[in-house]
Structure 1
Amino acid sequence: MENQLAFLAICLASALSPGPGGLAVVSSSINQSLRGTLPMIFGIAVGLMFASLLANTWLLAVIHSSKQAFQIMTWLCCAYIAYLGCKALYYANSEMTIAAKGYSFKNGVLISLLNPKTLVFFGALFPMFVPSNERFLTYAILLTTELVVITLIIHVLISSAIDKVSHLLKHHIVLINRITGLLFIGLGIAGFIV
């Protein structure tokens, strides 16, 4: 039971901590609405499920067998996050914002799959809670479901709260899109440095 509570606390902290997924949800919620952000939120959830599947099959083997392969995967993920930042800066002055042009279900999936935070979660934290016995599959499915549900709830709550004040924030949409772009680029660069 303690392990279960610890895992739930880690899922909650992960969903609430700043990262590319949360930043995309905030930006999309300001630019669009909760309704317009839902496809991306569902994409993030599906991406987490794919990440879990990959992590519990070949990804863990790669991570544990080759630090260099893990480093290359991390750099590719960071490059994608920085690319999203450049895209946000490029479209910052456009009438059609980056969220309208770029944050879709597909981008939600990619943000989850290529998020260095997701790699660390499934590569380092997840295995601590999944036993390596005959119940492995049951635990992996249960823990992945818990992570996805918590992430969905947190992202919907964040998007809903921002949706309620977005009319105030839309007056500063160009600045918000620029800040979003710079934060994404910063997250991408930080992944190369760390």
Structure 2
Amino acid sequence: MESQLAFLAVCLASAASPGPGGIAVVSNSINHNLRRTLPVIFGIATGLMLASLLANTWLLAVIHSSEMAFQVMTWLCSGYIAYLGCKALYYAKSEMSVAAKGYSFKNGVLISLLNPKTLVFFGALFPMFITDEANFIRDAMVLTLELVGITLIIHVLVSSAIDKVSHILQNHLVAINRITGVMFIALGISGFVV
């Protein structure tokens, strides 16, 4: 039971901490509303499920067998996150929001799936909380569903809260899109550096 509570605490901290998914939800929520942000949120959840499937199967084996394969995967994923930042900066020059140009269900999936930290989260953290190797698949599914559920709840709550104050933030869309772009680029660069 302590192990389960520890895992839930880690999931809560992970979902609430800033990352590419959280930044996309915040940006989309400011530029639009909760209803138009839900596809991004569901995309992020779908991406988490796919990342879990990949990390707990063949990808984990590849990563553990080849340091170079892991490094290349990290660079590619980090490049995508940095690309999203450049896209945000490009659209920040006008009042047009980057969220209107690209944060969709598909982007939510890609943000989760191509975030190197997501794959590392599943590959490194899950084994610590799987107590019975005979039931690895069942335990991995339960842990994935818990993480996805917590992430969905946190993102909906954040989007809903932002929805309430977005009328104030609307006057600062260019600055918000620039900040979003810089944050995505910083996250992308961190994948190349770390």
TM-score by length of 1: 0.97
Question: Which residue in 2 is equivalent to 1:10?
Answer: 10
Question: Which residue in 2 is equivalent to 1:134?
Answer: 134
The CA deviation string for residues 17-59 of structure 1, in whole angstroms up to 9 with x for no partner, is 1110001100000001111100000000000000011111111
Q: What are the residue-to-residue correspondences of 1:17-166 with 2, within 5 Å?
A: 17-131=17-131, 133-166=133-166
* Distance (Å, rounded) in 2 between the aligned partners of 1:172 and 1:98: 13
Residues 19, 117 of structure 1: 8 Å contact kept = no
> Once structures 1 and 2 are overlaid, which stretch shifts more, 61-70 or 29-38?
61-70
Question: Which residue in 1 is equivalent to 2:190?
Answer: 190
Q: Give 1:131 deviation, angstroms.
A: 4.1
Question: How large is the RMSD of aligned CA atoms in angstroms?
Answer: 1.0
Structure 1 unaligned regions, length at least 5: none
TM-score by length of 2: 0.97
Q: Give 1:191 deviation, angstroms.
A: 1.2
* Distance (Å, rounded) in 1 between the aligned partners of 2:73 and 2:25: 24
* Distance (Å, rounded) in 1 between the aligned partners of 2:120 and 2:113: 11
* Distance (Å, rounded) in 2 between the aligned partners of 1:74 and 1:130: 25
Q: Give 1:123 deviation, angstroms.
A: 1.8
* Distance (Å, rounded) in 1 between the aligned partners of 2:117 and 2:73: 12
Q: Number of paired residues?
A: 194
What SS does structure 2 have at the residue aligned with 1:134? helix
* Distance (Å, rounded) in 1 between the aligned partners of 2:11 and 2:153: 11
* Distance (Å, rounded) in 2 between the aligned partners of 1:120 and 1:94: 36
Q: Identity over the aligned pairs, expressed in percent? A: 78
> Once structures 1 and 2 are overlaid, which stretch shifts more, 152-161 or 125-134?
125-134
The CA deviation string for residues 110-138 of structure 1, in whole angstroms up to 9 with x for no partner, is 00001122022012111211246221111
The CA deviation string for residues 58-99 of structure 1, in whole angstroms up to 9 with x for no partner, is 111012111111111111111000000000011113343110
Residues 63, 123 of structure 1: 8 Å contact kept = no
The CA deviation string for residues 154-180 of structure 1, in whole angstroms up to 9 with x for no partner, is 000000011110000010000100110
Structure 2 unaligned regions, length at least 5: none
* Distance (Å, rounded) in 2 between the aligned partners of 1:7 and 1:60: 20
* Distance (Å, rounded) in 2 between the aligned partners of 1:19 and 1:162: 17
